[in-house]
Structure 1
Amino acid sequence: MNSIYKGHLGETPFDIRLLAMEHLAIIQQLQTIVYNALPDQSVLQPLSQEEFEYILHGNGLMIGAFVGEDLIAFRALLEPEIDDEHLGRDCGVEESLLPLVLYQEISNVSPDYRGFGLQKTLAKVIMDQVDVERFDYICATVKPFNIPSLKDKFSQGMMVAALKLKYGGKLRYVFFKKITEEVLSFNESYKVLMSDTPMQQRLLKEGWLGVQMFLENDEWIVEYKRMK
């Protein structure tokens, strides 16, 4: 399989390739390793075999990082069905534009290769593969206090558009970003504790967007801004 990116993790060379159905078994093996190593398994919603197959059969895109022939990380984008749970609606995307929305799905990195910024590298590489003629928006969900995933989304310029119950009653931030970069002008800023769900939901209802997070006095803060 041809590489679409090559680099080094410290002294270790690696390459990134497009994944296909032939990789399904090693994808699932890595997901199991990553899931079992998590101190809080509720932060990761593992994908089922059917969900992986759906993506690999042309309803999205998956890339994997390899050291030699060993899969050490993967990342997925999903072209979602237009259903009642569609994230585009949570982000204010018009009904007619919902087919232009992609989801950032699962991202797994082997515990043996953490600390090299691999998740960020995979994010950049997979977004470079997106057909901007077909898609305009990226959406994703993240559990509050899943700090690595929240940092991952904010570092890509994604913004919080909603904080609500998804997936049968699980509280999630809903992130979005327009794929073609747009410069937004903000004139108001408000900082709120990540733990203060009602206040964040009120701000989001009033048109504020979550733009970054930071640690202050051992508490995670989310900064919200409102456009002019």
Structure 2
Amino acid sequence: MEFRIKKAKLNDVHAVAALIRAVWEQMDNREWFVMDEADFLKDVLESGRGFIYMAIDAGTEKLAGVMDILTPGLEKDNLGYDAGFREEKLLRTAHVDSVAILPEYRGMRLQAILMEAAEQELAVKGYRYMMCTVHPDNSFSRNNMVRQGYRAVCRKEKYGGRIRDVMLKELPGII
């Protein structure tokens, strides 16, 4: 199966949010995933504080998965603070905010494919650090991130008291 990776535009936000909701609704452990809503995604795109990649099934044109990336700068929710970063590193830190893949497309490396696209774009833009959070019991997501070069830097409460492992990957220079 082949996929096209493209960046979402404002008119894609509702489809992206619907896919995220569909994935969340099918989860056994919903506390493992904080679902992004359409208004938040729209704000990310309009403000320029990030971007969204979409994986589209090339055969059916169906949206198969999404990944939204945040570039928080010096905002207080920058995960770089959890890694002890100072201003210079904070400004070069991006977050994988959400990844959602429809069940029928899992096991096809879509998360890795989306991540590679995001990391390449961010490296070209001068970002050096990618961060994300994972619920400690979500071994599938945690193992995916470790395979992609992430390591845990701390475990703490995030998102209104939910325990998360804060993960970090240092990007090479331009990929």
User: CA offset at residue 28 of structure 1?
Assistant: 1.4
Larger relative contact order (Cα-Cα within 8 Å, sequence gap ≥ 6): 2
| Number of matched pairs | 170
Over 3 Å counting, the alpha-carbon distance change for 1:17 and 1:86 in structure 2 is closer
Return the match for 1:84 from 68, 76, 83.
76
Q: Which residue of the other structure, out of 106, 109, 122, is the alignment partner of 1:114?
A: 106
User: Which has the larger displacement, 131-140 or 60-69?
Assistant: 131-140
What pairs with 1:15-54 in structure 2 (closer than 5 Å)? 15-54=4-43
1:172-193 CA-to-partner distances (Å, cap 9, x unmatched) read: 1111122117xxxxxxxxxxxx
Cα distance in 1 for partners of 2:52, 2:7 equals 6
Larger Rg: 1 or 2?
Answer: 1
User: Structure 2: where are the runs of 5+ without partners?
Assistant: none
Aligned to 2:52: 62
Distance 2:157 2:14 in 1: 32
Please give the secondary structure, in 2, of the residue aligned with 1:130. helix
CA distance in 1, matches of 2:118, 2:75: 25
How big is the shift at 1:136? Answer: 1.8
Q: Determine if contact 2:123/2:172 at 8 Å carries over to the other structure.
A: no
From 72, 95, 109, the counterpart of 1:103: 95
Root-mean-square deviation (CA), in Å? 1.7
Tell whether the 8 Å contact from 1:132 to 1:180 is kept in structure 2 after alignment: no
Aligned-residue identity in percent: 25
d(CA) in 2 for partners of 1:85, 1:75: 18
Q: What is the aligned partner in structure 1 of residue 131 from structure 2?
A: 139
Q: Is the partner of 1:88 in helix, strand or coil?
A: helix
Match for 1:17: what amino acid?
Answer: K
- Structure with more of its chain in helix, by fraction: 2
Q: CA deviation at 1:133?
A: 4.2
- Runs of 4+, deviation exceeding 6 Å: none
TM-score (norm 2): 0.88
> Following the alignment from structure 1 to structure 2, what is the Cα–Cα distance between the partners of residues 173 and 35?
19
Post-superposition offset of 1:86 = 2.6
Conserved? CA contact 1:89–1:95, under 8 Å: no
Q: TM-score, normalised by structure 1?
A: 0.69
Shift of 1:165: 1.3
Counterpart-to-counterpart distance in 2, 1:17 and 1:177: 23
Greater strand share, structure number: 1
In 2, are the aligned partners of 1:43 and 1:143 still within 8 Å (CA)? yes
Deviations, residues 158-205 of structure 1 (Å, cap 9, x unaligned): 111111112222111111122117xxxxxxxxxxxxxxxxxxxxxxxx
Distance (whole Å) between structure 2 residues aligned to residue 152 and residue 144 of structure 1: 13
